[in-house]
Amino acid sequence: MATDFWRLVAGFFESPTVVNTARGLVVFLIGFALARFARGVFRRVARPRLSPQHALVVEKACYYALVLLSALIALDASGVDPSVLLGAAGILTLALGFASQTTVSNLISGLFLVGEQTFKIGDVIKVGTQTGVVTSIDLLSVKLRTFNNLLVRLPNESLLKSEITNLTHHPIRRLDLTLGVAYKENVDRVQEILMGVAESNLYCLDEPKPTFWFEGYGDSAILLRFCAWFSTPNYWEGTNRLQQQIFEALTANGIEIPFPHRSLFTGSTTEPLPIRVVEGPSPTPKADP
């Protein structure tokens, strides 16, 4: 019986189907290993010469193309005619194309985004209510890492239709600060204080120079606009420190920063409306049910 078993096993492994399948599997594994090797070579050689988003798209396209080519060669080595599968795949792709128009739209939108280069990997962008660092630009979606460390996936189609603000595209950024001072204050003195604060700030740029102008008359204060420039990497730290320094300097120089207030008058009299507090009986506590 043992002899018959081993004869059966030997016959199984010697059958043309098993031999062809094993040959195809070996060919695919070799092709898959070559595809991974080619991706590694691309990362070391070509990726430094391309922008991050272009490198990512080209790398993925070449990698999957090599894997697909390996699969087709493996099918041919195993005795399966690839043209039959390609014909079936073409029909299946056509059917899927009609059924997944959103995917096709995202794919086309991804190509436009990569070609337009509105943003790149590592930029900080704002799309609607979402703000974060671009971590990936794929053919179907863009992924952001928000500042509270959340992953946000944005479909390319929605990005192409949305207003995108790139916060780190240019090397410098400007802070536009609107503040109010009391009507009794000297505006020239306030301007002198603000310019001195900007000069003492380590991150505020000397060129372009800070600007100051009279913006208007508010309900409770004179409205002033003060603008200062910072290098983009130092923007957040610099603006935070500048606003603290402005508050401290205005307070130290006795400049009043008013808050909204209202005065009530009755009839034609100029006397304020009197308010009288009347004490009533204490409410009777409710008995427990």
Dump pLDDT digits (tens) for 182-211. 999 999 999 999 999 999 999 999 999 999
Task: Give the number of other CB atoms < 10 A from CB of residue 32.
Answer: 15
Going by pLDDT thresholds of 50, 70 and 90, the confidence category of residue 65 is confident
> Counting Cβ atoms within 10 Å, is residue 134 exposed (0-12), middle (13-18) or buried (19+)?
buried
Question: What pLDDT shows up at residue 270?
Answer: 58
Domain with CATH 1.10.287 in the chain: 14-99
Domain with CATH 3.30.70.100 in the chain: 172-252
Q: Mind listing the pLDDT tens digit for each residue in 129-175? A: 899 999 988 878 899 999 999 999 999 888 888 899 999 999 999 99
Which contacts qualify for 190-197: CB closer than 8 Å, 24 or more apart? Answer: 190/224, 190/250, 190/255, 191/224, 193/249, 193/250, 193/253, 193/255, 194/226, 194/246, 194/249, 196/249, 197/242, 197/245, 197/246, 197/249
Domain with CATH 2.30.30.60 in the chain: 115-166
Residue 9 or residue 106, greater confidence:
106
**CATH code for the structural domain at 115-166:** 2.30.30.60
- Contact (CB, 8 A) for 257 and 179: yes
How much is the pTM?
0.59
Question: What pLDDT shows up at residue 97?
Answer: 56
> Counting Cβ atoms within 10 Å, is residue 33 exposed (0-12), middle (13-18) or buried (19+)?
exposed
97 vs 57, 64, 100, 168, 228, CA distance in Å?
21, 19, 5, 37, 52
- Contact (CB, 8 A) for 147 and 132: yes
Averaged pLDDT for residues 107-124 = 81
Question: What pLDDT shows up at residue 42?
Answer: 72
Question: What pLDDT shows up at residue 99?
Answer: 47
∠282-283-284 over CA atoms, to 5°?
115
CA dist 254 and 139 (Å) reads: 58
Question: What pLDDT shows up at residue 107?
Answer: 75
Q: Mind listing the pLDDT tens digit for each residue in 230-279? A: 999 999 999 999 999 999 999 999 999 887 766 666 655 556 556 666 66
Going by pLDDT thresholds of 50, 70 and 90, the confidence category of residue 224 is very high
CA dist 38 and 40 (Å) reads: 5
Question: What pLDDT shows up at residue 54?
Answer: 63
Question: What pLDDT shows up at residue 82?
Answer: 57
Question: What pLDDT shows up at residue 63?
Answer: 73
Averaged pLDDT score across all residues of the chain: 78
Question: What pLDDT shows up at residue 101?
Answer: 65
- Contact (CB, 8 A) for 218 and 261: no
Question: What pLDDT shows up at residue 39?
Answer: 76
**CATH code for the structural domain at 172-252:** 3.30.70.100
Separation of first and last alpha carbons in the chain:
89
- Contact (CB, 8 A) for 265 and 230: no
For the ranges 50-54, 121-125, 173-177, 252-256, the lowest mean pLDDT is seen at 50-54
Question: What pLDDT shows up at residue 89?
Answer: 56
Residue 172 per-residue DSSP state: E
Q: What percent of the chain has pLDDT over 70?
A: 69
Domain 14-99's class?
Answer: mainly alpha
Q: What is the CA radius of gyration of the chain?
A: 35
Spatial strand order in the sheet of 222-231: 172-181, 222-231, 211-217
**Three-class DSSP category at 122:** coil
Averaged pLDDT for residues 54-82 = 71
